[in-house]
Chain A
Amino acid sequence: MEFNWIFVFSFWGLTTALVGAMLGIVWGAMPGLSVNMAMALLVGFTFNMSPEIAIIFLIAVWAGAEFGGAISAILLNIPGTPAAVPTQMAGYPLAQRGEGGLAIGTALTFSMLGNWAGLIALIVFVPVMLAIALNFTSWEMFLLVMLGVAISGTLTGKERPMKGWIMGWLGLLIAMVGKDLIHGVDRFTFDIRELNAGIRYLPVLIGLFGLSEALNVLNKRQKTAIPTEVGRVLPPLSFFGKYWKSALRSSVIGTVIGAIPGAGANIASYVAYTVGEQVTKRKFSDGDHEGVVCAEVANNANIGGGLLPTTTLGIPGNSSAALIIASLSLHGIILGPNIENDQPGFMLFLYVTLFVANVFMYISAFALIRPSIYLLSMPTGIVMPTVILLCMIGSFAANYSSFDVLVMYLAGVIGYVLQRNGYPFAPLVLGAILGAMADENLRRAILVNEGQYLEMFMRPIGVVLLLAVAWSFYYGVRRSRRESKRLTAEGQ
C-alpha cells in the first residue's frame, strides 16, 4: 500500500496526533505506567484503525510518554518512566527549591529538541542504511539478528550479561514454536492446535510490559504523594545559550544508543546524564537544569535513533520500536530494507508524523502539566487493575483468541519472576520478534551456499558482523568475570 504524507495534516491525522500526544503525556506522567506498557496496551487499540492512523497514534503516544515521565519525576520524586530516573535525580531538588515548573518547562523544551535531533538523524541515515542493507544476503541478515540479540543482552544484562543472552536465546526459541516455514514440520507444538500458528509475540509483549509491571506495582505498597507547587513553566531564552552543548552531546548519545537494538531510552538518558556530569564536573543530583537537559534530550532523541534500524533492517532499536513493528504487522506491513518498494511513501509519512507529533507534544504539554498533577495522586489500586483489564483486551482483540490471553498471562507471571531475578526483557522481546527471520535466513543461506560455505564466510560484511558478534560476547564475558570475582570476594 502507498502512504501519503499529506494525510498527517488532515483532520483525522491531526486529531489523532493531538490525542495520542496528550494520552502519552498523561500516561508517562503516572508512576508505574511505562512507555512500553502504554505502547503494548495501545497496540490492541490500533487493531481496527487504518495503518496511517495507527502509526500516527503510536508515534504521538511514544513522543508524549517519553516526556511525560519527567512530570512525576520532578514533582513527586517518582519517575513516571524508567528513562526519567536521571531527570528525577536532577529535577526533584529543583522542585524542592520552588523551581519545579521551570524544571518541567526545561524538560519539555529540550525533549522537543531531542525529538528534532532524532528526526534529523533518521532523515540523514535512512538512505545510507537502506543502501547498505540491500546488499545483505541471507547469511548477513542472520548474523545481524544474532548481533542485535547479543548486543541487547550485553547492554541490558548490566553486570550479568549472561542473563541478557539467556533471555535473548529464550526469545529466539519462543519464535521457533509452530510450523517450520521451509518444510512445514511442526516444531514444539505437542499436538496443541493453537500452537500450530506459533506463539504470537504481541500477547508476550503485553504480558511482559503490561501485566508483569502491574503485578510489580501492586506488590509494593505505594503511598500517594502530594505534588509540590508548579510555578513558572516556560524556560528563559538564556537556557538555550547555556545548555546548547549539553543538548547537542546528549542528542548524539540518545540517537546512537537508540540505534543499538535493545538499548532503550533508560540507557540513553542515564549515559547522557553521567557523561554530562563528567564533562561539566558538577553533580547534577544537587538540583541542576543541565542534568534535566542531558537526560531529556537523550531519551527523546532515542525515538528517532530507535526507528533507524527498525525501518531499514526490520530490527527494533528498542522495545517501543518493537511494538511499532507489532502494530504494523497486524496491518500486514513488514518493515525492512524493502520498505520503500513494498510501502511507497512510508518513510516520508513517518518523518512528517514525527514532526507533527513533536509539535503537538510541546503544545499539549503546557496545557496538561497542571491537570496531570491531579492524576498523579490516583491510587494504584484503581490504575493497576484497569491496566490488567486493558492487557486482557489487548491480547484478545487481535485474533479473538483466549489462547493469546493465556499466553499473555503466562508471559506476565513468568516475566515478573524473571525480572525480579535480574533477567531483562528487551533481549527476549527482540528474540521473539526476530527469531523467525533468523531461522529462515540461516537455512536459506545454507541452501543457497551449499558446497560454497567458505565463500559465505569470507564476504566482507559477513566477516564484520561475525567479528561484532564475537566482540559482543567477549566484552560481556569479561564484564561477567569481573562481577563474578567481585561477588566471590565479597562472599569471603
Chain B
Amino acid sequence: MSSEEPDRKRGDGAELLMSSALFLVSGFFLYYSVLMERPGEGWGTAPGLLPGILSASLCLMCGSVMLSSIRRGGLSALAGWRGGGGLKDFLRHSWRLLVAMLAVAVLYFGLLRVVPFEVAAILFLLFMTRVYWPDASHSKRIAVSVIVPLVIALIFQAGFGVPLPGEGNIIEWLVYELRR
C-alpha cells in the first residue's frame, strides 16, 4: 500500500459524504418543484418546470458521483474514519479553520447585534491576531486591532457613505456631531 493510499481513500470517503449531501439537497428541490402551484394549464409555463428539470438531472449527477465513490471504496473509508480516530485527526489538522468559522459567526451573529461596528471589529481582530499572528507582541496586536477597524469605518462611512452593520456606528456619530 503506497503512502498516498490513505489520502486517496479519505478523499473517496469525503466525496461520498459530499455527493450524498448534494443528492439530498437536489431531492429536496425536486420534491418541492413537483408540489409547486401550477397556474395555467399543464407544465408548459409552470413555475416548477425548470427547477424540476434541473433538480432531477442534479439528482442523477450526484447519484453518479456517489456510485463512483462507493465503487472506489468510499463506504469503507468512512467506516475506517469513524473507527480509526478520524475525528481527533480532523480536529488536530483543522482547528485553525474551525476557530476562524466560529469567530466569524460570533462576530456576524453575536457581537454586531449588541455593540457598534468599531467595537465588534476591534474585539474580533484582537482575537484573530492572537490566534493567527502569535509571534507578534501585545502592543503590536492591540495597535493593529484598533487602527484597522477605525480606518475601515472612516473610509467606508465618512469617505464613501457606505452603511456599516452593527448596533450603531461610532464614526458615523462622530461625523454627525462634527457637522452639526
Contact B65 A393 (CB under 8 A): no
Contact B65 A163 (CB under 8 A): yes
Contact A409 B104 (CB under 8 A): yes
Contact B152 A381 (CB under 8 A): no
A172, A393, A417 pick with most chain B CB within 10 angstroms: A393
Bound: A392/B162 CA distance, A: 12
Contact B71 A393 (CB under 8 A): no
Q: Does A487 contact B (CB under 8 A)?
A: yes
Contact A382 B144 (CB under 8 A): yes
Contact A491 B72 (CB under 8 A): yes
Q: Does A176 contact B (CB under 8 A)?
A: yes
Q: Does B100 contact A (CB under 8 A)?
A: yes
A contact residues around B131 at 8 Å (CB)? 381
Contact B96 A417 (CB under 8 A): no
A-B contact count (CB 8 A): 171
Which of these, B37, B57, B64, B136, contacts A185 with CB under 8 Å? B37
Contact A187 B51 (CB under 8 A): yes
- Return A53 CB to nearest CB of chain B, in Å: 11
B contact residues around A211 at 8 Å (CB)? 104
A contact residues around B15 at 8 Å (CB)? 421-422
Q: Does B163 contact A (CB under 8 A)?
A: yes
A165, A166, A422 pick with most chain B CB within 10 angstroms: A166
A219, A386, A389 pick with most chain B CB within 10 angstroms: A389
A contact residues around B97 at 8 Å (CB)? 215, 218-219, 416
Interface residues of A in 388-447 (CB under 8 A from B): 388-390, 392-393, 396-397, 400, 402, 405-406, 409, 412-413, 416-418, 420-423, 438-439, 442-443, 446-447
> Among A40-48, A90-98, A118-126, which stretch is in contact with chain B?
A40-48
Q: Does A242 contact B (CB under 8 A)?
A: no
Which of these, A48, A169, A221, contacts B96 with CB under 8 Å? A221
Contact A392 B108 (CB under 8 A): yes
Which of these, B101, B125, B162, contacts A47 with CB under 8 Å? B162
Contact A446 B44 (CB under 8 A): yes
Contact A219 B96 (CB under 8 A): yes
Give 1 or 0 for each of B79-111: 1 = CB within 8 Å of chain A CB.
Answer: 000000000000000101100110011011100
> Do A397 and B45 form a contact, CB below 8 Å, given A166-B61, A382-B129, A488-B72?
no
The size bracket of the interface on B is 35 or more
Bound: A163/B136 CA distance, A: 41
- Return B170 CB to nearest CB of chain A, in Å: 15
Bound: A317/B175 CA distance, A: 42
Bound: A173/B49 CA distance, A: 12
Which partner residue on chain A sits nearest B151 by CB separation? A386
> Do A443 and B162 form a contact, CB below 8 Å, given A389-B124, A413-B101?
no
> Do A45 and B50 form a contact, CB below 8 Å, given A215-B97, A219-B94, A219-B97?
no
B65, B97, B129, B144 pick with most chain A CB within 10 angstroms: B97
Interface residues of B in 122-138 (CB under 8 A from A): 124-125, 128-129, 131-136
Q: Does A385 contact B (CB under 8 A)?
A: yes
Bound: A491/B112 CA distance, A: 50
Q: Does A490 contact B (CB under 8 A)?
A: yes
Contact B68 A409 (CB under 8 A): no
Which of these, A385, A420, A439, contacts B129 with CB under 8 Å? A385
Contact A381 B163 (CB under 8 A): no
B contact residues around A127 at 8 Å (CB)? none
Bound: A382/B55 CA distance, A: 41
Interface residues of A in 431-472 (CB under 8 A from B): 438-439, 442-443, 446-447, 450
A176, A418, A488 pick with most chain B CB within 10 angstroms: A176
- Return B169 CB to nearest CB of chain A, in Å: 11
Which partner residue on chain A sits nearest B49 by CB separation? A443
Where chain A touches its partner, the secondary structure class is helix
> Do A487 and B36 form a contact, CB below 8 Å, given A384-B132, A405-B108?
no
Q: Does B154 contact A (CB under 8 A)?
A: no
The size bracket of the interface on A is 35 or more
Which partner residue on chain B sits nearest A216 by CB separation? B97
> Do A169 and B45 form a contact, CB below 8 Å, given A176-B50, A393-B162, A409-B108?
no
Bound: A185/B50 CA distance, A: 14
Contact A185 B47 (CB under 8 A): yes
Q: Does B34 contact A (CB under 8 A)?
A: no
Which of these, B36, B44, B68, contacts A187 with CB under 8 Å? B36
Which partner residue on chain B sits nearest A172 by CB separation? B54
Bound: A388/B97 CA distance, A: 13
B contact residues around A170 at 8 Å (CB)? 22, 25, 58
Contact A396 B165 (CB under 8 A): yes
Q: Does B121 contact A (CB under 8 A)?
A: yes
Bound: A279/B163 CA distance, A: 53
Which of these, B39, B57, B124, B152, contacts A169 with CB under 8 Å? B57
Q: Does A380 contact B (CB under 8 A)?
A: yes
Bound: A211/B103 CA distance, A: 12
Given contact pairs A384-B132, A416-B97, A446-B44, enumerate 8 new A-B contacts (beta carbons under 8 Å): A162-B65, A169-B57, A185-B36, A385-B124, A392-B165, A439-B50, A490-B8, A491-B8
B interface residues, Cβ below 8 angstroms from A: 8, 14-15, 18, 22, 25-26, 29, 32, 36-37, 39-40, 44-45, 47-51, 54-55, 57-58, 61-62, 64-65, 68, 71-73, 94, 96-97, 100-101, 104-105, 107-109, 112, 121, 124-125, 128-129, 131-136, 144, 148-149, 152, 156, 160-165
Q: 8 closest pairs, A vs B, by CB?
A: A381-B133, A381-B132, A385-B128, A180-B47, A219-B97, A185-B47, A396-B165, A183-B39
A interface residues, Cβ below 8 angstroms from B: 44-45, 47-49, 160, 162-163, 165-166, 169-170, 172-173, 176, 180, 182-183, 185, 187-188, 211, 214-215, 218-219, 221, 379-382, 384-386, 388-390, 392-393, 396-397, 400, 402, 405-406, 409, 412-413, 416-418, 420-423, 438-439, 442-443, 446-447, 450, 484, 487-488, 490-491
Q: List 21 A-B contacts (CB under 8 A).
A: A169-B26, A173-B26, A173-B51, A180-B47, A183-B39, A185-B39, A187-B36, A215-B97, A218-B132, A381-B129, A382-B129, A384-B128, A389-B125, A397-B164, A405-B108, A409-B109, A416-B97, A423-B18, A439-B50, A443-B44, A446-B44
